[in-house]
Amino acid sequence: MYAQMIKSEASKDDPEKLAEFQAKIDADIKVEPRDWMPEGYRKTLIRQIGQHAHSEIVGQLPEGNWITRAPTLERKMILLAKVQDEAGHGLYLYAAAETLGVSRDELTEMLLDGRMKYSSIFNYPTLNWADIGAVGWLVDGAAIMNQVPLQRTSYGPYSRAMIRICKEESFHQRQGYDIMMKMAQGTEAQKKMAQDALNRLWYPSLMMFGPSDAESVHSTQNMAWKIKMNTNDELRQKFVDQTVPQAEYLGLTIPDENLKWNEDKGGYDYSDPDWTEFFNVLKGNGPCNTDRLEARNKAWDDGAWVRDGLMAHAEKKRAAKTAAE
């Protein structure tokens, strides 16, 4: 999931108004930008949508890492189109956040100086070509688990952005699995790449859902507001159950000795990821945190003269037009 561990903000609003607001959400009436909303709802949404947007933008980097090395012209185009979609999705999400009274540049600054986070998964490296397959298959697969229900989220602009994103994303997971199939059916070296990618990305993918939050107050509030639709454990279980047979089809081994079908619960038992590692990554100690933030900061800083230049030109044109009228 691209938004992890979103803390909900307390609201100090009039209890009667809060109850009215909750009734509206319970009745599945969408909240729109100009409607009254509790301050906590607004702030929590900015945090969540912002983090989601940042994840799309930073998420361009690990996959973009292979655009110039894609092995065929067609793979290069598919990957480029996919990474481009991620920029688009970031753009849609920032626009949804902007309806809540924060600007895109403000959100960007908060990402760049570390005040806001992005998904832990993008702090892991893509080391061989099969990683591009595994990212599509596992990472997009995990993201879709969360994004599909979010199409029904209570905040109108967020819901509409998710609908558009889900529609466009439908090819992302498939292209990833398509690469995995080629690799798994390929030469010994390709099979080795595929297994290596799965070994490295399996637990980080499980981490995407965040630690168990069944008992968390934030989770309860965010679910009541319908900005979080399922608990982390529900989604993680669903993801494991969906992915295990796909891995079997590929002839790849999921790196978990404890993985086995549990008839009673109708799902797989599996090992938890190493949560110490997860919290370390969140703190900035993942394998790529520094590189990712440096790359984003460099793009932003190096681009300042371009943004300013084009703006200055637009202002000159506007002034000339006004003078002529």
Partner 1 sequence: MANVDKEMLAQFLLRMGDNSLILGHRVSEWCGHAPVLEEDIALANTALDLIGQTQLWLGYAAEVIGDKTADDLAFLRDVWDFRNILLVELPNGDFGQTLMRQFLYDAYQSILLPRLAKSSDPRVAEIAEKASKEAAYHVERSADTVVGLGDGTEESHARMQTALNKLWPYVGEIFASDAVDAAMAASGIAPDPASLRAEYDALVGNVMAEATLTIPEGDFAHLGGRTGATHTEHLGHLLTQMQWLQRAYPGASW
Partner 2 sequence: MSKEWPLWEIFIRGQHGLSHRHVGSLHAPDAEMAIKNARDVYTRRNEGVSIWVVEANNISASSPSEKGPLYEPSESKVYRHPTFFDIPDEVGHM
Compute the distance between CA of residue 263 and CA of residue 181 in angstroms, rounded to an integer: 29
Contact pattern from residue 72 through residue 101 relative to partner 1, giving x for each residue in contact according to CB under 8 A and a dash for the rest:
xxxxxx--xx-xx--xx-xx--x-------
Q: How far is CA 300 from the centre of its chain?
A: 21
Please, what is the minimum distance in Å from the beta carbon of residue 51 to partner 1?
17
Among 16, 257, 302, 325, contact with partner 1 (rule: CB under 8 A): 302
Stretch that binds partner 1, among 40-48, 70-78, 159-167, 283-291 (CB under 8 A): 70-78
What is the C-alpha to C-alpha distance for residues 61 and 271, in angstroms, rounded to an integer? Answer: 29
Backbone angles phi, psi at 155, to 5 degrees: -90, 115
Both tokens of residue 72? 């065929």
Query: Facing residues of 269 across strands?
Result: 260
Write out the binding residues for partner 1, residues 130-189 only, by CB under 8 A: 179, 182, 186-187, 189
Least distance (Å) from partner 1 to the CB of residue 112?
A: 14
**Residue type for 130, please?**
A
CA 20 vs. chain centroid, Å, equals 32
Q: Which does 161 bind (CB under 5 to 8 A by kind): partner 1, partner 2, none?
A: partner 2
DSSP characters over 10-46: P--S-HHHHHHHHHHHHTTPPB-TTS---HHHHHHHH
Q: List the beta bridge partners of residue 267.
A: 262
Residues in the chain: 325
Residues 35-74, interacting with partner 2 (CB under 8 A): 35-36
Q: Which of residues 112-171 bind partner 2 (CB under 8 A)?
A: 160-161, 164, 168
Which of partner 2, partner 1, none is residue 36 near (CB under 5 to 8 Å by kind)? partner 2
- Give the list of residues 6+ apart from residue 1 with CB closer than 8 angstroms, or none: 119, 142, 143, 145, 146, 208, 209, 210, 232, 235
Choose one: 38-46, 68-76, 141-149, 222-230; the region binding partner 1 (CB under 8 A): 68-76
Tokens 């009541």 sit on residue: 224
Rounded least distance, CB 10 to partner 2, Å: 24
> Among the candidate windows 4-12, 32-40, 254-262, 286-294, which touches partner 2 by CB under 8 A?
32-40
Question: ∠89-76-60 over CA atoms, to 5°?
Answer: 30
Task: Report the run of H or E that residue 267 belongs to, with start and end.
Answer: strand 267-269
State yes or no: residue 60 binds partner 1 (CB under 8 A).
yes
- Tell me which of partner 1, partner 2, none is bound by residue 69, counting a contact when its beta carbon lies within the kind-specific cut-off of 5 to 8 angstroms: partner 1
Q: Which of 20, 261, 307, 319 binds partner 2 (CB under 8 A)?
A: 307
Question: Which does residue 80 touch among partner 1, partner 2, none (CB within 5 to 8 A, set by kind)?
Answer: partner 1
Binding site residues, partner 1, CB under 8 A? 57, 60-61, 64, 67-77, 80-81, 83-84, 87-88, 90-91, 94, 129, 179, 182, 186-187, 189-190, 295, 298-300, 302-314, 316
